[in-house]
Structures are given as structure tokens and as C-alpha cells.
């Protein structure tokens, strides 16, 4: 049984990675239904939180059906991070997660996200300040290092554990790599082999199939796997991995009914949570992924990403259900 503090997550948990503009409540609901064990919010700016910025505060919305869930924050100012920790605790998640891995320039140039990998002592100091401040279990998500010359993740893991974090998720790339090239899990495995490490270690990066999930589980000995981009438009990946682990069998890809049902449910939840305008606009990034591989889908996709009326979008999805009945994705 893998546990973060007192939170039981099963024998080998699957985690949904926090992704900006993706892992919002509508999307998280679908992933939970498909077997995701623990999820995180989109990352939230601490400066936005302490200034009561609407966009940041809205990301604190969590629902009972999502639990256990972690709220993830990012920032570089210790005073702001500590104040934000109080706000997060008041929202009553199960976990508070610190983002030390975002590679985007507008975040790193301020010393936040993966930017703090250039200042490991500050990274540790900031983490300790939050651990000391909150009653919530604190977890961290980070990368191997800033670049190939500064892959200090083994030292970082020990030092963060020593100041009290309860779990560590590691993306197998440096900040310099962004999302390019193949993720290297070698150092993640080395951390799991370190006898000093007692907290759960979760691997992240490039897991896009049940077969790869099993291979990396066996090769690197991680306590669980965090899935990010491979879940976009594909919440079924969680159930597919779990089924493969249990039976050794590969489930068939979702049929058109499952794809349409997921897209409809996602759109409905998006409308309910974001309203009729944003609910429609922010769904557009998902349709391509839901219907990837369906032959001749281009014309339908044009409608889905340009239409403003929800009724027309729902009608288009139902038309696709009829047209693609019995068709398998290529």
C-alpha cells in the first residue's frame, strides 16, 4: 500500500499531472471516473492567490468526488508562498503540492517553477517554510535539474525529504529540454534505490501506453506513475493501464460512443463551471485529442473549434456518433 502521510493510494497509484489549462475540474472528473487515483489542480500563482486574483482563486475549486486531491502552487517569494499555504489549507484539499518543475520562461525567469533548480538552497528553504507553516502533507513536483550539467535531483530528493515533504514526483527531463527528447528515468530509479529515501517517489514523463507503464514500473521501481500529456483527450489511459496490470491484456481503443460521451460530458461540465462563453472556448483544445485517428474527422473538427453555440456543438457530436458508428480509430 502506497501512502502519502496517512492517505492510502493503493498498491501502485496512477496520478494525473497538474497541467495549466487542462487539469481543471471538468477534465479531472473524467480522469477520476476512469480510475485515476490522485489528481492535482492546475498550478496556481501564489502572487495571484494572496492578491485575490479571480483566475487564481477559481483554481482552488475542488469537489468531493475528486478526493484525494492536491492543490499545486508556484512562486519564488518565501513570504508569499507561506501566505498562500494558509489560503490553500482553508480550501481543504488532502495535499499541498509545490511546483518546482514548470519550464515556461515567464515562470522560470522569476525564479519560480523549474527556475528554482538554479538555487537549490533556496528551494530547500522555501519548502521547509511551507512544511513548517501548514498542517497539510506537502509534496513536490520537479525535474532532474536545470540542464545536463546540473542534474542534482538525488541530492534534492534527500534534502527535501529531510525538511518534511511526504512524496516527490519527478519529471525525467531537465528544464533545458522542456518537453523535447526522451524522458530519462535513470536518476528516478537511482533515488528509489537510495536506502535513505523513505517517501513515495512517482515517475513522470513519456508514459503513453499500458505496456510502457509496466516496463517503467518494473525497471525503475517507482511507487506510482504520474501521467500528463498522454491523458489529454484520453482519460481512458488510466483504466487501460490498470486493466493491463491486472490481466496482461490490452483493452480495445474507445469506440465512438465512448469518445462522444466523454466529449459531451466534458463540454457539459465545462459549461457548468466556466459559463457559456469560456466553457465553449476552452473546450476547443480538447476535441482533436478526443477524436484523434478517426478518418475524415477534419470537417467536424472545424465546426467544433469554431462554433460558439453549445446546442450546435452537442448536435455535431451526436452526428459524429451516427456517422462513425462501427468505425475504429486509425
Report pLDDT for 330: 67
* Residue 67 shares a structural domain with residue 176: yes
* Residue 66 shares a structural domain with residue 176: yes
**Is residue 228 part of an annotated ligand binding site?**
yes
* Residue 126 shares a structural domain with residue 204: yes
* Residue 109 shares a structural domain with residue 198: yes
Q: Does 330 map to a domain?
A: no
Interacting residues of 52 by C-beta distance below 8 A, sequence separation 6+: none
**Is residue 48 part of an annotated ligand binding site?**
no
**Is residue 171 part of an annotated ligand binding site?**
yes
- The CATH number that applies at residue 218 is 3.20.20.70
Burial of 65 (0-12, 13-18, 19+ CB in 10 A): exposed
Q: What is the pLDDT along the chain (330 residues), one digit of tens a residue?
A: 999 999 999 999 999 999 988 999 999 999 999 999 999 999 999 999 999 888 899 899 999 999 999 999 999 999 999 999 999 999 999 999 999 998 899 999 899 999 999 999 999 999 999 999 999 999 999 999 999 999 999 999 999 999 999 999 999 999 999 899 899 999 999 999 999 999 999 999 999 999 999 999 999 999 999 999 999 999 999 999 999 999 999 999 899 999 999 999 999 999 999 999 999 999 998 999 999 888 888 899 999 999 999 999 999 999 999 999 988 776
Distance of CA 123 to the CA centre of its chain: 21
* Residue 203 shares a structural domain with residue 267: no
Q: Does 203 map to a domain?
A: yes
The model carries a pTM of: 0.93
Note the helical H segments in the chain. 25-33, 46-50, 54-58, 78-91, 105-108, 120-133, 153-162, 186-193, 210-220, 237-247, 256-274, 276-281, 284-290, 298-304, 310-323
* Residue 267 shares a structural domain with residue 234: no
31 tagged catalytic: no
* Residue 273 shares a structural domain with residue 290: yes
* Residue 106 shares a structural domain with residue 84: yes
Answer yes or no: are the C-beta atoms of 192 and 154 closer than 8 Å. no
Domain count, the chain: 2
Which residues constitute the domain of residue 307? 256-324
* Residue 134 shares a structural domain with residue 47: yes
Please identify which of the residues 31, 36, 102, 109 carries the catalytic annotation: 102
Amino acid at each position: 500500500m502506497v501512502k502519502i502521510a496517512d492517505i492510502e493510494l493503493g498498491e501502485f497509484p496512477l496520478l494525473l499531472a497538474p497541467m495549466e489549462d487542462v487539469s481543471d475540474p471538468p477534465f479531472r472528473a473524467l480522469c477520476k471516473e476512469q480510475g485515476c487515483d490522485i489528481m492535482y489542480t492546475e498550478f496556481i500563482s501564489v502572487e495571484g492567490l494572496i492578491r485575490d486574483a479571480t483566475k487564481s482563486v477559481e483554481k482552488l475549486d475542488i469537489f468531493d468526488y475528486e478526493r484525494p486531491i492536491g492543490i499545486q502552487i508556484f512562486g519564488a517569494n518565501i513570504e508569499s508562498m507561506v501566505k498562500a499555504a494558509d489560503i490553500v489549507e482553508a480550501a481543504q484539499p488532502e495535499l499541498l503540492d509545490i511546483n518546482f518543475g514548470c519550464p515556461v520562461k515567464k515562470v522560470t525567469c522569476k525564479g519560480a517553477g523549474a527556475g528554482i533548480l538554479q538555487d537549490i538552497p533556496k528551494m530547500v528553504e522555501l519548502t521547509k517554510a511551507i512544511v513548517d507553516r501548514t498542517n497539510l502533507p506537502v509534496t513536490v513536483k520537479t525535474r532532474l535539474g536545470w540542464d545536463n550539467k546540473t542534474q542534482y535531483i538525488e541530492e534534492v530528493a534527500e534534502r527535501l525529504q529531510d525538511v518534511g515533504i511526504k512524496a516527490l514526483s519527478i519529471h525525467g527531463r531537465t528544464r533545458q529540454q522542456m518537453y523535447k527528447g526522451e524522458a530519462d528515468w535513470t536518476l528516478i530509479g537511482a533515488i528509489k534505490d537510495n536506502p535513505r529515501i523513505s517517501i513515495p517517489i512517482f515517475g513522470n514523463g513519456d508514459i503513453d501506453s499500458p505496456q510502457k507503464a509496466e516496463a517503467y514500473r518494473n525497471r525503475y521501481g517507482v511507487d506510482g506513475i504520474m501521467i500528463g500529456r498522454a491523458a489529454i483527450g484520453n482519460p481512458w489511459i488510466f483504466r487501460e493501464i490498470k486493466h493491463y496490470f491486472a490481466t496482461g491484456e490490452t483493452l480495445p481503443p474507445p469506440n465512438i460512443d465512448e469518445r462522444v460521451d466523454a466529449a459531451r460530458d466534458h463540454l457539459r461540465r465545462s459549461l457548468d463551471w466556466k459559463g457559456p462563453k469560456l466553457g465553449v472556448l476552452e473546450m476547443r483544445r480538447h476535441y482533436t485529442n478526443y477524436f484523434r485517428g478517426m478518418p475524415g474527422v477534419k470537417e467536424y473538427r472545424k465546426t467544433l473549434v469554431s462554433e460558439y453555440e453549445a446546442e450546435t456543438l452537442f448536435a455535431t457530436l451526436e452526428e459524429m456518433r451516427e456517422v462513425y458508428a462501427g468505425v475504429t480509430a486509425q
